[in-house]
Structure 1
Amino acid sequence: MALWLEWQIKVYVLMVSLCVEAWTSAATPPNSTLAVFEQWTARHGRIYVNNLEKTKRYEIFLKNLHFIEDFNKAANRSYTVGLNQFSDLTTEEFHARYNGLQPMSRSSNSSAATTFEYQNVTQVPDSINWVDKGVVGSIKNQGSCGSCWAFAAVATVESGLAINGGPMLDLSEQQLVDCSKDNGGCKGGWVEAAFQYIKRDGITSEQNYLYKGVEGDCNSEATLAHKVTIQGHHNIPVDEHLIEMAVAAQPVTANIDTKSVEFRSYSGGVFTGPCGRQNLDHSIVIVGYGRSNSDGLNYWLIKNSWGEQWAEKGYMRIQRNSGIREGVCGINLAASHPIM
């Protein structure tokens, strides 16, 4: 009976794949897409609860696969897209699981410094890469917890400490998720509120307070062994040149819109959109800037918290000097950095 049921499910999956192939214009031959899907699930460790769920994910995967093929065939692209760990998700599912920013009104944030620290800088280098300088921590993975705000805040504090002569520490995002009560844990939060918490209570190491990817009770005993505090933070005015001045001195956080399929499928090159510029949903860290040798586009180098399987080993180059006040994906709208 079990073998008969398994055979029926295989036939059903095949019928679905053929139906989907009939209305798409993919370059991949129909008889190979199921094999591609099976290879993808094995690589990413996907185990579905039942075959109906697997069939649903296969349909979504096919749509994403065909989008990727069609996009990469087009001429004059400055970036490519590809399969990654998000390729069996819809846009809505992805947004619900892997973002987590809740934008804060800066006008109500009285604890932020009112002057821009680097306003008197007269000259900045043509390019800078803090990763190459050895003061950026490893790429981490927030998982399906909406804790991007915690990862962005922690990354800039780690870098700020190292740039100012301290050790390159691995600090605890989980402490912020559990203990920063002005934030929403895995339901989202604010980088500014994370900075306020670190200023007030300090932050311990990842080793002392391991990341679990779920919100729990604050482990007050672990927080007593805090390693780092900050003096406060600066909010950078909405001005690309001023952000450039700040990044020339240290990595900074920024908020962006990541809801497009192009963004989550990005695999390399200089990302130019499409994406929104107002409804920001994700926090990242700008760890450098430069100019692409292949097409001459200026870019920001951003560090993300979606693991090394995404994009350029966890990093993205996103267009700079685009002529858009808000910046591509709104990257200019809410940049900030800790004051060490």
Structure 2
Amino acid sequence: MDPGIEVESDLTSVYAAYGNREAAFPSSYDARKEGLVTPVKNQNPFGTCWAFGMAAIMETSLLAQNKGTYDLSEEHLSYFFSNRQNDPLGNTPDDKNYVLGNYHVIGGNDHLAAIYLSTWSGMTTEADVPFPTDSSHQNDLTVQIPESKAYNSAAYLKNASVSQYSEERMKEMLLNDHAVSIMLYMKESYVNPDTAAYCYPVGKSNSTVINHIVTVVGWDDTYSKDNFLPVSNVTSDGAWIIKNSWGEKKGDGGYYYLSYQDPNISKLVSAEAVAASDQKYRNNYFYDGSSALSVIPIQAGQSVAAVYETTAGKGKAEVLGEVNLVTNSDNACYKIQIYTDLTDPYDPESGTAAYAAPYEFEQPIAGVQTISVPEVVLKQGSRYSVVITNSGIDKISFGVEAKSSYGNWFTCTAGIETGQTFYKSASETARWTDGKTKNWTARIKAHTRTLNQSWVPDTPVFQVKAYNSGYNLISWKKVSGATGYYVYRKPAAGGKWSQIADVGTSELKYKDSKVTANASYRYTVKAYYEASGKRYSGKYKTGDVIKAAPAVQKVTSVKSEKNGIRIRWKPQKKCDGYYIYRKKKGGSYQLIKKISNGNSSSYLDKKAQKGVSYYYAVKAYVKEPYGNTYSKYKSSSAVKRK
């Protein structure tokens, strides 16, 4: 078994948080007494202790949340870890884990398992995918596990803390999560059969040796050093209570007492699980499907980001509410910003910032972390980004997916593509660089939930005015998030809507020149946004009846009569009336009469002075919601009153 790369634990932080040892922790703790430990299991005849360790800490987490007793499937975890399938959103088809041998024998570790479970491929129940043995624990591999069960899950991994070993850190993790998976070397010849006390001989090896994973569920500072075999060379009291996976007939009902001094205790992993039925955000966006423990240094002020296309809602809008990431550093501090509606898929900051100020979060212990963030609505088909900035320590060892190998037992490949994840230096003039250029994908996941309806732009506020140049002008206010606008028209008295224009965001108006003089119309405007070749339009509101401006009004005759000057014109259908104007040669037109009858065709100007020549003009008008619209006019020839 291979523990992989070591996490960068700040074990001094335990003292900073808790002070001296005696004040920080009680002399003993036993999660069994709190009812937080599920029954001992038996991994025989397989070497999948790591899967039993992960199942145990997940089951304890669910008990601690009063979710009842879960029996999670170790076989599901170990099988699909080495036979992983593309995720439900289809973003990781070429990400693979390869166990170089029989996955039932070759082993594993729970740091890798935690990263794998952040993809939500498990854990399911024992009933769904049972352990492949018969009642006597003989190998029974006759049942093939369907690939369709890869993402069956009764519980998801929410958080996993990963640490180097110290007594104080182990106790801290136990008080937080009530169970801790550890790696060690376990050999029955070093077990005291009378006390179930175990310790690999202190000083026997100059390096850490590993062959097994167990689950620590408590401690006892007063457990006597005399309970261990002399060959173990234990010199101090104190033992961890460990739950093994060798069945209840081994040890003390399946439990052992492990000396604090055991030289091989390493790779501490604890977990916080969430029941699948309680998971609010059901869509998991990620590109890091394989499980390498690779990291990159993110200096203070530097950023990494992931860009995703919103597809899980299948036409409906989504809400982002969680971000998941991986670090190998304690005390990591982050600033998180979400950008929506990206205009450049290769620039994570080319959209609209969701938060007025970045959301800040501190991760005290290295590992897998799910961070609840203020909710952000995502339009279906749009692109969004999650930007993570190191806002604290000098360097965060940030988790990335990359092609990696561990000894002669495990390798993984990463199907990295351009436009997935990016990094940027702290300089104000820095530009984003694609992670593909460095052959890694940042471990940034986004969790969303699907709304009951599609996100659509707001209904535009618009107005229509008729102009006597032969058009109606439709104008509207800009709608946030819209990428264009549809303009529709229909006859005022019935009829169907017809789209008359498709206008981009650079224009907020449209001239409808295909109108008939004095005809009545209704208009509406619908905003839409376009993403990935599809358009999603909003609701609309029908506007008031608008009449097109009357045609140019001509005077057909002007004639002096006994009582004045008679002006005649050809009436226009559907107009509402006429304005009569008069002027003398070299003067300006003055309104002399308003006629509120659209059928009128003449007017007698009785106030015209005898012996004076006049010019006349007639304007037709129509009534509008905002006032009147007047026609253009053509002046008459001069006429002198006799």
Q: Normalised by the size of structure 1, how large is the TM-score?
A: 0.59
1:285 is paired with a residue whose SS is strand
Pair 106,301 (structure 1): closer, same or farther in 2 beyond 3 Å: same
Query: What is the CA-CA distance between 1:207 and the residue it aligns to?
Result: 1.2
Separation in structure 1 between the aligned mates of residue 167 and residue 225 of structure 2, nearest angstrom: 23
Residue equivalent to 2:547: none
Residue equivalent to 2:170: 243
Separation in structure 2 between the aligned mates of residue 228 and residue 153 of structure 1, nearest angstrom: 12
Q: 1:257 aligns with which of 169, 181, 185?
A: 185
Pair 273,106 (structure 1): closer, same or farther in 2 beyond 3 Å: closer
Note the alpha carbon deviations across 1:172-216, whole angstroms, 9 max, x for none: 001012111237321211211222222212311111110015678
Which amino acid in structure 2 is aligned with residue 148 of structure 1? Answer: C
Indicate if the aligned counterparts of 2:28 and 2:218 stay in contact, CA closer than 8 A: yes
Residue equivalent to 2:268: 335
Query: What is the CA-CA distance between 1:267 and the residue it aligns to?
Result: 4.8
Which amino acid in structure 2 is aligned with residue 303 of structure 1? Answer: K
Whether 1:229 and 2:156 are equivalent positions in the alignment is yes
Separation in structure 2 between the aligned mates of residue 282 and residue 183 of structure 1, nearest angstrom: 20
Pair 285,183 (structure 1): closer, same or farther in 2 beyond 3 Å: farther
Consecutive unaligned residues of structure 1, counting only runs of 5 or more, are 1-100, 108-112, 323-327
Separation in structure 2 between the aligned mates of residue 125 and residue 131 of structure 1, nearest angstrom: 16
Residue equivalent to 1:148: 49
Indicate if the aligned counterparts of 1:260 and 1:274 stay in contact, CA closer than 8 A: no
Which amino acid in structure 1 is aligned with residue 57 of structure 2? Answer: T
Map 1:62-101 onto structure 2 (within 5 A). Answer: 101=1
Separation in structure 2 between the aligned mates of residue 159 and residue 242 of structure 1, nearest angstrom: 19
Indicate if the aligned counterparts of 2:9 and 2:163 stay in contact, CA closer than 8 A: no
Higher Cα Rg: structure 1 or 2?
2
Whether 1:270 and 2:204 are equivalent positions in the alignment is no
Pair 103,294 (structure 1): closer, same or farther in 2 beyond 3 Å: closer
Q: 1:205 aligns with which of 125, 129, 138?
A: 125
Residue equivalent to 2:244: 304
Which amino acid in structure 1 is aligned with residue 211 of structure 2? Answer: D
2:157 is paired with a residue whose SS is coil
1:335 is paired with a residue whose SS is strand
Query: What is the CA-CA distance between 1:220 and the residue it aligns to?
Result: 3.3
Residue equivalent to 1:18: none
Indicate if the aligned counterparts of 1:204 and 1:227 stay in contact, CA closer than 8 A: yes
Residue equivalent to 1:192: 111
Indicate if the aligned counterparts of 1:114 and 1:234 stay in contact, CA closer than 8 A: no
Residue equivalent to 1:105: 5
Separation in structure 1 between the aligned mates of residue 98 and residue 144 of structure 2, nearest angstrom: 14
Separation in structure 1 between the aligned mates of residue 66 and residue 10 of structure 2, nearest angstrom: 24
Note the alpha carbon deviations across 1:278-323, whole angstroms, 9 max, x for none: 1111000001001237959311000111111111111000112x3x
1:131 is paired with a residue whose SS is helix
Residue equivalent to 1:94: none
Indicate if the aligned counterparts of 1:128 and 1:288 stay in contact, CA closer than 8 A: yes
Q: 1:279 aligns with which of 183, 189, 209?
A: 209
Consecutive unaligned residues of structure 2, counting only runs of 5 or more, are 83-96, 134-138, 227-235, 274-642
Residue equivalent to 1:71: none
Indicate if the aligned counterparts of 1:252 and 1:337 stay in contact, CA closer than 8 A: yes
Select the structure that is richer in helix: 1
Separation in structure 2 between the aligned mates of residue 161 and residue 223 of structure 1, nearest angstrom: 21
Range with greater deviation from structure 2 (254-263 or 129-138): 254-263
Note the alpha carbon deviations across 1:128-186, whole angstroms, 9 max, x for none: 11112111111111112110010001100110121133222110001012111237321
Separation in structure 2 between the aligned mates of residue 169 and residue 104 of structure 1, nearest angstrom: 29
Whether 1:317 and 2:257 are equivalent positions in the alignment is yes
Which amino acid in structure 1 is aligned with residue 115 of structure 2? Answer: Q
Residue equivalent to 1:75: none
Pair 121,231 (structure 1): closer, same or farther in 2 beyond 3 Å: farther
Query: What is the CA-CA distance between 1:105 and the residue it aligns to?
Result: 1.9
Residue equivalent to 1:91: none
Separation in structure 2 between the aligned mates of residue 288 and residue 298 of structure 1, nearest angstrom: 11
Whether 1:292 and 2:223 are equivalent positions in the alignment is yes
Map 1:20-39 onto structure 2 (within 5 A). Answer: none
Q: Percent of pairs identical after alignment? A: 21
Residue equivalent to 2:65: 164
Which amino acid in structure 1 is aligned with residue 126 of structure 2? Answer: E
Indicate if the aligned counterparts of 1:203 and 1:229 stay in contact, CA closer than 8 A: yes
1:310 is paired with a residue whose SS is coil
Which amino acid in structure 1 is aligned with residue 271 of structure 2? Answer: P
Pair 274,260 (structure 1): closer, same or farther in 2 beyond 3 Å: farther
Separation in structure 2 between the aligned mates of residue 233 and residue 298 of structure 1, nearest angstrom: 26
Query: What is the CA-CA distance between 1:235 and the residue it aligns to?
Result: 1.1
* Larger RCO of the pair (alpha carbons < 8 Å, separation 6+): 1
Indicate if the aligned counterparts of 1:183 and 1:189 stay in contact, CA closer than 8 A: no
Residue equivalent to 2:32: 131
Note the alpha carbon deviations across 1:43-100, whole angstroms, 9 max, x for none: xxxxxxxxxxxxxxxxxxxxxxxxxxxxxxxxxxxxxxxxxxxxxxxxxxxxxxxxxx
Indicate if the aligned counterparts of 2:199 and 2:259 stay in contact, CA closer than 8 A: yes
Indicate if the aligned counterparts of 2:129 and 2:145 stay in contact, CA closer than 8 A: no
Select the structure that is richer in strand: 2
Indicate if the aligned counterparts of 2:219 and 2:240 stay in contact, CA closer than 8 A: yes
Residue equivalent to 1:220: 147
Separation in structure 1 between the aligned mates of residue 98 and residue 187 of structure 2, nearest angstrom: 22
CA RMSD in angstroms comes to 2.8
Indicate if the aligned counterparts of 2:162 and 2:270 stay in contact, CA closer than 8 A: yes
Separation in structure 2 between the aligned mates of residue 218 and residue 114 of structure 1, nearest angstrom: 38
Indicate if the aligned counterparts of 1:267 and 1:312 stay in contact, CA closer than 8 A: no
Separation in structure 1 between the aligned mates of residue 55 and residue 163 of structure 2, nearest angstrom: 18
Residue equivalent to 2:86: none
Indicate if the aligned counterparts of 1:158 and 1:171 stay in contact, CA closer than 8 A: yes
Separation in structure 2 between the aligned mates of residue 114 and residue 272 of structure 1, nearest angstrom: 24
1:268 is paired with a residue whose SS is coil
Q: Normalised by the size of structure 2, how large is the TM-score?
A: 0.33
1:104 is paired with a residue whose SS is coil
Aligned residues: 226
Separation in structure 2 between the aligned mates of residue 224 and residue 105 of structure 1, nearest angstrom: 27
Separation in structure 2 between the aligned mates of residue 319 and residue 115 of structure 1, nearest angstrom: 23
